[in-house]
Amino acid sequence: MHTPVLLSESIEFLNVKPEGIYFDCTSGGGGHSEEIAKRLSEKGMLICLDMDEDAIERVRERLKSYKCNKFFFHKNFKDIDEVANEVGIAGEVDGILADLGTSMFQLKDFERGFSFSGEGELDMRMNRKSNLTAEEVVNRYSENELALIFKEYGEERLSKKIARMIVEERKISPIKTTSRLAEIAVKAYGSRKSRIHPATRIFQAIRIEVNKELENLKIFLEKSIPLLKKGGRLVVISFHSLEDRIVKNFFRDKAKNCICPEFQMRCTCGGNNAIVKVLTKKVIRPSEVEVGENPASRSARLRACEKVI
C-alpha cells in the first residue's frame, strides 16, 4: 500500500469545502484523493489526474463508494487546463494538489525500472505510452549529454566519471537492466563513502529526463493559477531541491506586488500586482513521527499559496 505523505497538512492547506471543486493532479495510490473525497458532499467535485493508467484505475476503484462528483483522466498534470475546460470549471476551482513523488506501486514494480532494489528493464516511463525510455537515454545519449543531466537533474558530483563509464560499458554491450546501471555507479564511487546509494542520483536524473518532470512542473504551475477562483489554493509536495526551488520561486514571483524591472529606481507599475499570497512562509516538512512510520516521506516538502484576485 502506498502511504500518502504530509496527508493532514496537505488537506489543511487545501481547506476543503463540502461543495468545493478540487483537483488531485497526481493521484497515485489515491490516499490524498480519498481524504478530499471524504470531505465533499454530493455537490462537491473531485478531478483525479495521473500519467500512469494503472494509478487512475486504482484511484477509481478506491473512490467508488464516495458520493461526490468524480472525474478521472489519464493525463499529465501539465494538461490541467485541457481537463478543466473539458469539465467546464476553469476559474471556479477551490483547490489543486500535486504530489510530485514516485508512488510505491511504481517503485516496487521492478519491471517499470524506477528502482535499483530489484532487477528490471530500464524503462522509467510514468506514462507507458510515451516514446522515450531510460534505456534509450543510457545507450543513445552522448557522454556530454549524460554528464549534463546527471549534474543538472541529479546534482551528482561524479557526473562526468559516471557518464564516461556508461559510454565505455555500452561499447561492450547495450545497458538494458537497472542492476547493470546501478553497478556502474557503485564502481564509479569505489571506496568513497556516500550517505545514499551511489545510483540514487543517477536514477533520479534519468527519470526526470525521461518524463520531462521539471519542464512539466513549470507548465503545470503556470496553468494552475488561472483555473483557481479567488481564495482558491494550490498545494505542491516536492521531494528534491530541484522541484522545490521551482515551486518556491514561482510562488515568490506570483506574490510580488511590484513587477517593475529590478534596475528601475521608482515603481511605475502601481505596486499592487500580487496574484497569490504564500501560505507557507517556511517550507513544511514531515514530523519525526511521520518519518518514523514512513521513511519514504523524509525528503518531502510542502508549499502552498492562495489566489488573491
Amino acid (one-letter) located at 24: D
Radius of gyration of the chain (CA): 21
Is residue 191 over pLDDT 80?
no
Residue 17 covered by a domain: yes
Of 172, 190, 211, which residue is a domain's last? Answer: 211
Give dist(CA 78, CA 84) in Å, integer: 12
pLDDT at 107: 62
Q: Are 306 and 11 in contact (CB under 8 A)?
A: no
Q: Which three cell numbers stand for residue 40?
A: 465533499
pLDDT at 106: 66
Of 211, 229, 248, which residue is a domain's last? Answer: 211
As a 3-state breakdown, the chain gives helix, strand, coil percent values, each rounded to 5, of 45, 15, 40
Instruction: Show the domain range for 283.
Output: 7-99+215-307
Q: Are 86 and 107 in contact (CB under 8 A)?
A: no
Same domain? For 136 and 199 the reply is yes
In the annotated binding site, the residues are 30-32, 50, 77, 99, 106
Same domain? For 59 and 132 the reply is no
Q: How confident is the model at residue 2 (pLDDT cuts 50, 70, 90)?
A: low
Amino acid (one-letter) located at 286: P
Residue 197 covered by a domain: yes
In the annotated binding site for S-adenosyl-L-methionine, the residues are 30-32, 50, 77, 99, 106
- Note the pTM of the prediction, 2 decimals: 0.93
Same domain? For 144 and 204 the reply is yes
Residue whose entry in the numeric block shows the C-alpha cell 469539465: 87
Give the sign of the dihedral formed by CA 162, CA 168, CA 169, CA 175.
positive
Residue 104 covered by a domain: no
What tens digit of pLDDT does each residue of 218-270 get? 999 999 999 999 999 999 999 999 999 999 999 999 999 888 888 888 888 88
Same domain? For 146 and 87 the reply is no
What tens digit of pLDDT does each residue of 204-220 get? 999 999 999 999 999 99
Residue 85 covered by a domain: yes
pLDDT at 263: 86
Same domain? For 89 and 221 the reply is yes
Among candidate residues 121, 125, 3, the one with its CA nearest the CA of residue 54: 125
The domain that holds 149 is classified in CATH as 1.10.150.170
